[in-house]
Amino acid sequence: MRIGVDTGGTFTDCVILKDSRIEILKVFSTPEDATEGILEGVRRLVGHGQRRRPTLIHGTTVGTNSVLERRGALVALVTTAGFEDLIEIGRQNRPRLYDLNVRRDPALVPRALRWGAKERTAADGKILTRPDAAELARLRRAVKRSRAESVAICFLFSFANSANERAVARALRDLGLPLSVSHVILPEFREYERLSTVVINAFLAPRLGQYLDRLDREAKRWFGIGRPPAGGKQQNARLQNTKLQKKKRSAPIFIMQSSGGITTAARAAREPVRTILSGPAGGVVATRWLADRLGIRRVISFDMGGTSTDVCLLDGPARTTHETTLGGLPVAVPVLDVHSVGAGGGSLARLDAGGALRVGPESSGAVPGPICYGRGGTQPAVTDAHLLLGRLDPEYFLGGEFPLDAQATQKGFEKFLRDRDGAGKVRRASRMTPLELAQGIVDVSNATMEKALRVISIERGHDPREFSLVCYGGAGGLHAAELARSLGLERVLVPQNPGTFSAMGILLSDIVKDLSQSVLLPVAFAGKQTRSSRSQKLFEKLERRFARLEQAARAELRRDQMPGGPVKVERRLDIRYAGQSYELSVPFTRRFGELFHREHEKAYGYRDTARPLEIVNLRIRLVIPTPKPRLQQGRVAGNAGGGLLVKKKAAWFGGRRHRTPFYNRDALRPGARFRGPAVVVEYSSTIVVPPGFVCRVDEYHNLVLTQHAR
Amino acid sequence: MHVDATELEIFKNLFHSVAEEMGAALRRSAFSPNIKERRDYSCAVFDGSRRVAAMGDHMPVHLGSMPSSVAAAVEALDPGPGDIAMLNDPYAGGTHLPDITLVMPVMAPGSRQPVFYVANRAHHSDVGGAQPASMGLSEEIYQEGLRIPPVLLARSGRIERDVMAMLLANVRTPREREGDLTAQIAACRLGERRLTELREKYGNRKTFFYLDALQRYSAHLMSEALGRIPDGLYRAEDCLDDDGYSDRPIPLRVAIRIRGRRARVDFAGSAPACRGGVNAVLAITLSAVFYVFRCLLEEDVPACAGLMAPIEVRAPAGSVVNAQPPSAVAAGNVETSQRIVDVLLRALAQALPGRIPAASSGTMNNLSFGGIDPRTRQPFAYYETIAGGMGARPTADGLSGIHTHMTNSLNTPVEAFESAYPVRVRRYSLRSGSGGAGRFRGGDGLIREIEFLTEVRGTILSDRRRFPPYGLAGGRPGQVGKNQLILPGSDSTLPSKAGFTAPEGSILKIETPGGGGWGKPAGRKRSPKKRAPNKRGR
């Protein structure tokens, strides 16, 4: 029995897989102590009298929020002497070009907690200076006195030779603090990005460790779980202060990583930086799974919530990136390539000094919320606009638990337009009616999201017309069809229970172990001489290095007490033309050179087969698949009719009023088919079928929206 | 057709994303550290009458100077379908020689004239001349590198191999140049493709209508901003340390007249062009003015030509802010441009005392060097800029170790730098205490120490080594910078602009200026950081 739990700001979503049947539940999150909400959800789903031990798979925002709110551990940082300030300098650029008041958050480690070690490694891995005993003792004393709660170590070129980092780590080990060491966390080149990743890890380790300890303890108490002690003797003593990090008896709890795979709670406690985008990863995994079941290769996931929208393009398996930032700080571990924009249901509208209508990124949040929530919001938000356009049913929001105030919204829009006119700022806008303003707000937010979709598709060489949009999250259904139309997407899929789709993805995720290694190996003429003895030698050399990497990865899986079973191994190379700075990732085969040239041409419009290549990183991924549920197939009735009609009411599309039927999703049966305009309402979401679209319910209860031929 | 607020916002984003997309492709596939790591490039979209419609958020110093490139290319060559013009001549649409600009027309069926132009400019690591990396001290432009007037690099879609060969024969690192130019060409073609798609999707009429509307919109925004500045005449003066040949300071003077919703910026009284390369061509001066006024806008608007419509700029021909051939210009783009910003802000501080920051480091600390890499026996040329302290703001301390104003280029990662060049970075840290005191403190500069593992020839072009970045409202100036060449057994301080030969094992130590302070130091509130976290009250 497996339970997927996704903790969000408002709701904790739970999905349980019982004998290949799925049940869902939403409970309120408990921000004080998220474990309460989780365990309540789990208990209610599992039911009393249940003897079998559930496996809990958890997507958490503890890491993300700690970094964004700068609430983490007091970290001591040891760097190569002369580079103590690198964490503050970063790449020496400013985030906004034309802002004289530009601000930068203070560094995660203050100056007083940063120490330089007298050590140095050269680019080729040669040790130039070894930290001597006195130096090690000095560092140990300094860190001990600092009262730091966590330690980060990052030396130049440690990916080429980690001896100095290991020496310092050994010297500091008995202080009993969690240690985050750069060659362990991320043995890849580019010192600032690596440093930032390691410091974030150290910043999160104590807090995430404690959180997972508590979850583990509570879970055991609630379910009487006992598992044989996880007894890896050669426990890699990197982090030690929490129980999980020490790996005592722990409940079967897995944590979602940003890469789209899960890992044990113990490993997550030691490498928390790998969990920072745990939440959005779930939705992407679920998207891939759903599309695979339907036999669709190319999909774009579209998750629109209250303040932001996350999109991710999947052409086959989900791809990860190593260039993410969080709160302005680079995070170079693999993260699913999710692109986020500040446009959601709560995004606020305003008119700027030049008379352009702007929407977001400011959001009304949960409090006060949009005007229609009637909780003090006064500025028009995207949700308000939909309400005015008649696309939301004020009486069926959240299943009717939370009626919306349409009258207040109308007044709010009128006031907004009047105020602007009064200020004499914007003549043009005053010609707008509230309805036009509402349509404008929807159009502008669509434009923002369209831009996000373009960034991940067209800008990376994909034609959006070959993709289907999988839409979930609270507000996605209101916009998906319009977006599909403006980008020419083939169709829109709205899965069952779009509100708990991310939790579903978490439940479905495989166990994943990622390891990488920077090698910076030159390749001469890989394109031409595939069979030459030189390229044969290189290939064998790479084979050997991959084998070593795989050994290390398997050893870690064993140490983590992962369930046995077949392990799938993926090997990839990050390659560039010698002299470039950005790599493209290709699978490791004998023809990797040719694959690279092809990818390069696709991405940047040219190839140069005469130019030597450089292999920057080896990447290996071990995957242990988890059991997947079978999708329940409904019988498709010959003519299932329109489903239960809730009501017919006026709604506006493209400036015209349409009498629009509203359907209840729960009553729609496979085979049902109707034309837009129409609106489908359900507990956690509303789906708009605009004129020109046809909606059908497939045998898995998904809504499928396509443009009908004229 | 009337302007619809919604469509306006949408088109604004569309054009801007074309420019951004061109930039991303260029960065990711280029070879010069200047382009790929430091991001010293710009991409822009122009309308058929060669007005900027959108420019990526890349390098401010390119803002006002890209239009001159397009104008020069079109006037000289009138490029047609599939043609790509190339130029770097500062006296024909360029800035300084390492900046090579490509311009490509975008056609539409039924129109004989281009309906758009796309352009991109990138700072190449070397374009020949007397010094490696082409950022040396020179007395005339002929010493600074290969000067390229507008020529066609591609004709009807085919690369002109002769032109390319001519260029590659004149530079130290031809393979790298070829790669960078290929990336620039690909970025142009990408821009062309995107604009064509956009035009086809929205139709000619609407696209061109909003192209126009954007100009009016941006002009309106700027007029509004100018209208909020009190009318008056605001004068200021500041100076560059020297030109590298004599130690005479080089004064810059400006008078800004604000009247209603218009501004006139006059540089009369500035020094005449001088012997060394600190001369700025007019395009650079325009960029600096453009930058300063754009910073006054509250909205985050794309750089449109319309923004400059309400501003008139006068710069006496033959002066250091409007150089004429054959003056050397390498440092005009990188040093003088910063001082122009300083003097403009100093003048505006009188009009808007609550908004204008004290002087930032005011120099890009340009370091260039080259030689033969002992590992490969190949010639190399390297160029980088080093950040300094930001001036304090009327509401906040200045940031430390950060690029300000006319540049925003990144550092080259030490691990990339040492892998590719025979150097070892010994230190890269903040220069503690170098920011000026004040109610709000100026940001600290940086200290960078580079050990050369082989003999190199190099040049440092820097400033604010004698005259410090000014403070405002009673704030103290930031500390001046310092350049040192440390040889075994002897140290020598280099002047602000100097060529040097550094033997193997020598260390170049550069300390960059801190920012000026704002407000009297006595008014400073005790920083909460100073209080020890674990000690309660006192």
pLDDT in tens, A155-170: 999 999 999 999 999 9
Cβ contacts of A458 on chain B, cutoff 8 Å: 194
Q: How far apart are CA A337 and CA A456, in angstroms?
A: 9
Strand pairing class (A2-7; A55-59): parallel
Say which residue, A54 or A213, is predicted with more confidence.
Answer: A213
Residue B426, helix vs strand vs coil: strand
CB A24 within 8 A of CB A31: no
Structure-token match 């303003």, residue found: A437
Give the distance from CA B520 to its chain's centroid: 32
Strand pairing class (A468-472; A298-304): parallel
Interface test with A, best of B1, B2, B3, B9 (most A CBs within 10 A): B9
Query: DSSP string of A71-108?
Result: ----EEEEEETT-TTHHHHTTS--S-TT-TT---PPPS
Tell me whether B233 touches chain A (CB under 8 Å). Answer: no
Structure-token match 């300890």, residue found: A213
> H or E stretch including B165?
helix B161-168
Cβ within 8 Å, pair B429-A84: yes
Cβ contacts of A157 on chain B, cutoff 8 Å: 415, 418
Question: Chain A residue closest to B391 (CA)?
Answer: A100
> B491-537, pLDDT tens digit by residue?
899 999 999 999 999 999 999 999 999 999 987 875 544 433 343 33
Structure tokens at B237: 């003066």
Give the nearest partner residue to B428 out of A83, A455, A520, using CB atoms. A83
Question: Chain A residue closest to B292 (CA)?
Answer: A98
The reported pLDDT for the residue numbered A486 is 85
User: Residue B527: what residue type?
Assistant: S
How close A536 comes to chain B (CA, Å)? Answer: 24
The reported pLDDT for the residue numbered B180 is 94
Give the angle subtended at the CA of B432 by the CAs of B428 and B435, to the nearest 5°. 115
Cβ within 8 Å, pair B186-A606: yes
Q: How far apart are CA B365 and CA B332, in angstroms?
A: 13
Cβ within 8 Å, pair A354-B218: yes
Question: In which band, very low, low, confident or very high, does the pLDDT at B39 lie, cut at 50, 70 and 90?
Answer: confident
Cβ within 8 Å, pair B36-A581: yes
Structure-token match 């982090």, residue found: A239
Q: Which of residues 254-273 of B touch A (CB under 8 A)?
A: none
- Find the helix packing angle between B161-168 and B174-202, rounded to 10°: 140
Structure tokens at A461: 């060489």
CB A152 within 8 A of CB A131: no
* A482-489 average pLDDT score: 89
Alpha-carbon distances of A341 from A308, A418, A456, A501, B211, rounded to whole Å: 6, 30, 12, 20, 25
The reported pLDDT for the residue numbered A11 is 73
Which string of b and e fits A451-485 if b means at least 16 CB within 10 Å?
A: bbbbbbbbbbebebeebbbbbbbbbbbbbbbbbbb
> A25-60, pLDDT tens digit by residue?
877 777 778 888 888 888 888 776 566 678 889 998
Mean pLDDT of chain B: 92
List of residues 6+ apart from A426 with CB closer than 8 A: A351, A355, A420
What are the φ/ψ torsions at residue B344 (nearest 5 degrees)?
Answer: -65, -45
CB B285 within 8 A of CB B322: yes
Q: Which of residues 419-478 of B touch A (CB under 8 A)?
A: 419-420, 424-430, 446, 449
The reported pLDDT for the residue numbered B404 is 95
Tell me whether B132 touches chain A (CB under 8 Å). Answer: no
Say which residue, B538 or B448, is predicted with more confidence.
Answer: B448
List of residues 6+ apart from B233 with CB closer than 8 A: B255, B256, B257
Cβ within 8 Å, pair B25-A604: yes
Cβ within 8 Å, pair A608-B429: no
Question: Chain B residue closest to A100 (CA)?
Answer: B295
The reported pLDDT for the residue numbered B528 is 46
Interface test with A, best of B28, B180, B421 (most A CBs within 10 A): B28
Query: Which percentage of chain A shows pLDDT scores above 70?
Result: 88
Cβ within 8 Å, pair A358-B9: yes
Question: Chain B residue closest to A427 (CA)?
Answer: B5
The reported pLDDT for the residue numbered B459 is 95
Tell me which residue of B466, B476, B9, B478 sits closest to B242, measured CA to CA: B466
CB A141 within 8 A of CB A113: no
Question: In which band, very low, low, confident or very high, does the pLDDT at A297 lie, cut at 50, 70 and 90?
Answer: very high
Tell me which residue of A103, A294, A271 sits closest to A200, measured CA to CA: A271
Q: Does the pLDDT at position A228 exceed 50?
A: no
CB A159 within 8 A of CB A517: yes
Question: Chain B residue closest to A125 (CA)?
Answer: B419
The sign of the dihedral angle between the CA atoms of A425, A429, A433, A436 is negative
Query: DSSP string of B216-233?
Result: HHHHHHHHHHHHTSPSEE
Interface test with B, best of A89, A427, A458, A602 (most B CBs within 10 A): A89
Q: Does the pLDDT at position A86 exceed 90?
A: yes
The reported pLDDT for the residue numbered A30 is 77
The reported pLDDT for the residue numbered B139 is 93
Tell me which residue of A380, A377, A389, A336 sits closest to A360, measured CA to CA: A380
How close B126 comes to chain A (CA, Å)? Answer: 15
User: Residue A415: what residue type?
Assistant: K
How close B493 comes to chain A (CA, Å)? Answer: 21
Tell me whether B373 touches chain A (CB under 8 Å). Answer: no
The reported pLDDT for the residue numbered A71 is 85
Cβ within 8 Å, pair B29-A600: yes
Which string of b and e fits B53-73 if b means at least 16 CB within 10 Å?
A: bbbbbbbbbbbbbbbbbbbbb
Q: Is the pTM of this model over 0.90?
A: no
Q: How far apart are CA A4 and CA B390, in angstroms?
A: 49
Mean pLDDT of chain A: 85
The reported pLDDT for the residue numbered A97 is 85
Residue A26: strand pairing partners: A13
> B121-136, pLDDT tens digit by residue?
999 989 999 999 999 9
Cβ within 8 Å, pair B387-A100: no
Residue B490: strand pairing partners: B487
Strand pairing class (B158-159; B151-155): antiparallel
Query: Which percentage of chain B shows pLDDT scores above 90?
Result: 80
CB B358 within 8 A of CB B391: yes
Tell me whether B380 touches chain A (CB under 8 Å). Answer: no
User: Which region, left, alpha or beta, applies to residue A614 given φ > 0 means left and ψ of -120 to 50 means alpha?
Assistant: beta
Cβ contacts of A125 on chain B, cutoff 8 Å: none
Cβ within 8 Å, pair A355-B401: no
Tell me whether B399 touches chain A (CB under 8 Å). Answer: yes
Cβ contacts of B12 on chain A, cutoff 8 Å: 356
Q: Which of residues 44-103 of B touch A (CB under 8 A)?
A: 57, 60
- A677 preceded by a cis bond (ω within 30 of 0): yes
Question: Chain B residue closest to A454 (CA)?
Answer: B17
> A323-380, pLDDT tens digit by residue?
888 888 999 998 998 888 878 888 899 887 777 888 887 877 666 788 998 888 889 9
Cβ within 8 Å, pair A93-B428: no
Query: Which percentage of chain A shows pLDDT scores above 90?
Result: 44
Q: How far apart are CA A706 and CA B164, in angstroms?
A: 50
The reported pLDDT for the residue numbered B536 is 35
CB A283 within 8 A of CB A314: no
Q: Does the pLDDT at position A10 exceed 80?
A: no
The sign of the dihedral angle between the CA atoms of B486, B490, B491, B497 is negative
Cα dihedral A248, A249, A255, A261, rounded to 10, equals 90
> H or E stretch including A568?
strand A568-577
Cβ within 8 Å, pair A89-B428: yes
Cβ contacts of B413 on chain A, cutoff 8 Å: 189-193
CB A679 within 8 A of CB A664: no
Tell me which residue of B479, B518, B476 sits closest to B363, measured CA to CA: B479
CB B524 within 8 A of CB B438: yes
Question: In which band, very low, low, confident or very high, does the pLDDT at A250 lie, cut at 50, 70 and 90?
Answer: low
> B40-52, pLDDT tens digit by residue?
899 999 999 999 9
Q: What's the DSSP call for residue B306?
A: G
Q: Does the pLDDT at position B59 exceed 70?
A: yes
Q: Does the pLDDT at position A74 exceed 80?
A: yes
The reported pLDDT for the residue numbered A451 is 84
Cβ contacts of B301 on chain A, cutoff 8 Å: 354
Q: Which of residues 152-181 of B touch A (CB under 8 A)?
A: 175-176, 179
What are the φ/ψ torsions at residue A82 (nearest 5 degrees)?
Answer: 100, -10
How close B265 comes to chain A (CA, Å)? Answer: 20
Question: Chain B residue closest to A192 (CA)?
Answer: B413
The reported pLDDT for the residue numbered A654 is 84
Question: Chain B residue closest to A616 (CA)?
Answer: B416
Q: Does the pLDDT at position A551 exceed 50?
A: yes
Q: What's the DSSP call for residue B333?
A: I
Q: Does the pLDDT at position A566 exceed 50?
A: yes
Q: Does the pLDDT at position B264 exceed 90?
A: yes
CB A268 within 8 A of CB A255: yes
Structure tokens at A686: 């509303």
